Amino acid sequence: MIKKIVTIPNKILRTKSKRIGYVDDSIRNLANDMIATTLDWDHDSEFGAALAAIQVGEPLKLTVVRNDFDDPKSKEFTTLVNPEIVKVSAEMISDIEGCLSVPGVYGRVKRPLKVKIKAQDANGAPIRLSVEGFPARVLQHEIDHMNGVIFLDHIKDSSQLFSIDKNGSLMPVAQAKKDDIKKHK
């Protein structure tokens, strides 16, 4: 079932998610609903990389992550229950992030290049992941959600905020606002 994605300024996004004690059908059903919701959100110029349960109003430590970020048509996801970062690299990288809960706004965020994650799968079995680059960024972003943190919290300089123009290209938010003003004159 497709769920409504919670967007800012809804206060639930600032809620710390609760650890899931037991993975049962209700958790698996929620994960399946989250996958359907993410796929429903996809459109021509963008696709959802992942979704945390808090983003559909469920304060649980649960996320679904697309398996193939290079193929926006991919419908395969991995479910992570109670994910937590156990190690990060010293090497940091800055890149653009967006969020289904922050529509139309993107920002340059600096994060560790590599992370090690421990979690449980959709059957409650323990798993460990070592990821780098974009997958590492996605997992850090989703785990932030579980701690009540939004990617905008990492941005201290408004020149690092962007929107997407009608051609699907990034442009500074300040420019987007100027263009909106011109349209309404």
> What are the residue numbers of the active site?
142
Count of alpha carbons within 13 angstroms of residue 158, beta-carbon side: 5
3-class SS letters over 144-173? HHHCCCCHHHHCCCHHHEEEECCCCCEEEH
Query: What is the rounded CA–CA span in Å between residue 106 and residue 45?
Result: 14
- Nearest by Cα to 80 from 43, 39, 117, 134: 117
